[in-house]
């Protein structure tokens, strides 16, 4: 296990949507030192559309879900549970702009705010924010979800590194007087991601989960995917020198 050094983790998760939060929660519960970095803590584990499926057993989502619970309370419950895992889980607001890479291995990320965050394993859980355009009626803006800006830096950097992408889109119907909208975004191309191990195979030490690799998925589905990736990573940490991951 890693020394208790600021900004150094066993696993760094970028993006605290349903997928990334599940990964971080399960790993920290199992004793790993985890950094969960996300662009806005106010939108952590916050559903912005209707929840179509009930949560699967054994997920953080199942622990905090209650039918009819307002979205902001679901967010608050999940955030409280994640925060209660401190100091093993460090939750912070920052925007990743670049991967730190040495000899083909990802060692963490640089942030727009300045600090670098280092880890033995980095997980990208970036959702619908890569090259995202959100359209409501005639208005279009760079946003990955309603009211959440999508900044171009990380996406441009990933393209410079040679990552390939495929176009995806998600649509929300009109709801309780609010207009419907569509988000068009890029997800990692299927040849970049190994479904079984969840690795983004272009570099070692890099994994992907949720909508940024699947292109779609309900809150319940991506949250289960997060739990599945956490199980894989726990196996890595138990059975392998992680440098081989």
Ligand X SMILES: Cc1cc2nc3c(=O)[nH]c(=O)nc-3n(C[C@H](O)[C@H](O)[C@H](O)COP(=O)(O)OP(=O)(O)OC[C@H]3O[C@@H](n4cnc5c(N)ncnc54)[C@H](O)[C@@H]3O)c2cc1C
Binding mask 108-127 for ligand X (x = CB under 6 A): -----------------xxx
Q: Where are the beta strands (DSSP E) in 138-210?
A: 139-141, 143-145, 148-149, 165-172, 181-188, 206-208
Smallest gap from Cβ 28 to ligand X, in A, equals 17
* Helix or strand run (H / E) with residue 107: strand 105-111
Interface segment toward ligand X; rule CB under 6 A; list 57-65, 79-87, 170-178, 190-198: 170-178
User: Does 168 engage in binding with ligand X (CB under 6 A)?
Assistant: no
Interface segment toward ligand X; rule CB under 6 A; list 5-13, 60-68, 196-204, 209-217: 209-217
User: Does 210 engage in binding with ligand X (CB under 6 A)?
Assistant: yes
Q: Which is nearer to ligand X, 50 or 191 (CB)?
A: 50
By C-alpha distance, which of 148, 141, 133 is closest to 49?
Answer: 148
Smallest gap from Cβ 241 to ligand X, in A, equals 28
Token duo for residue 186: 């890029």
User: Does 201 engage in binding with ligand X (CB under 6 A)?
Assistant: no
Binding mask 62-91 for ligand X (x = CB under 6 A): ------------------------------
Q: How many residues bind ligand X (CB under 6 A)?
A: 39
- Residue 193 DSSP symbol: B
Smallest gap from Cβ 183 to ligand X, in A, equals 5
User: Does 147 engage in binding with ligand X (CB under 6 A)?
Assistant: no
Q: Which of 12, 32, 96, 158 binds ligand X (CB under 6 A)?
A: 96
Q: Which of 40, 166, 167, 201 binds ligand X (CB under 6 A)?
A: 40
CB neighbour list of residue 72: distance below 8 Å, 6 or more residues apart: 46
Contact indicator for 128, 188 with CB cutoff of 8 Å: no
CB neighbour list of residue 146: distance below 8 Å, 6 or more residues apart: 48, 134, 172, 181
In angstroms, the CA 9 to CA 3 distance is 9
In angstroms, the CA 203 to CA 180 distance is 38
Token duo for residue 38: 């996300």
Contacts with ligand X, residue ranges (CB under 6 A): 14-20, 37-40, 43, 49-53, 95-96, 125-129, 144-145, 148, 154, 170-172, 183, 210-211, 216-219, 222
């Amino acid at each position: 296990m890693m020394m208790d050094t600021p900004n150094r983790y066993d696993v760094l998760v970028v993006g605290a949507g349903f997928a990334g939060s599940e990964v971080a929660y399960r790993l920290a519960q199992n004793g790993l030192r985890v950094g969960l970095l996300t662009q806005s803590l106010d939108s952590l584990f916050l559903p912005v559309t209707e929840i179509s499926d009930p949560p699967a057993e054994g997920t953080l989502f199942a622990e905090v879900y209650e039918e009819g619970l307002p979205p902001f309370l679901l967010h608050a419950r999940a955030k409280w549970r994640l925060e209660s895992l401190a100091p093993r889980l460090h939750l912070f607001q920052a925007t990743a702009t670049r991967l730190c890479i040495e000899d083909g291995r990802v060692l963490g990320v640089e942030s727009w705010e300045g600090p670098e965050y280092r880890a033995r394993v980095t997980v990208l859980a970036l959702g619908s924010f890569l090259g995202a355009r959100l359209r409501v009626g005639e208005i279009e803006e760079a946003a990955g979800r309603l009211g959440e800006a999508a900044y171009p830096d990380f996406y441009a950097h990933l393209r410079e590194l040679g990552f390939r992408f495929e176009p995806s889109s998600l649509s929300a119907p009109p709801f309780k007087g609010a207009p419907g909208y569509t988000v068009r975004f890029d997800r990692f191309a299927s040849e970049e991601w190994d479904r079984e191990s969840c690795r983004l195979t272009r570099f070692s030490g890099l994994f992907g989960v949720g909508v940024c690799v699947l292109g779609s998925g309900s809150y319940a589905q991506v949250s289960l995917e997060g739990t599945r990736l956490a199980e894989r990573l726990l196996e890595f940490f138990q059975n392998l020198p992680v440098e081989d991951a």
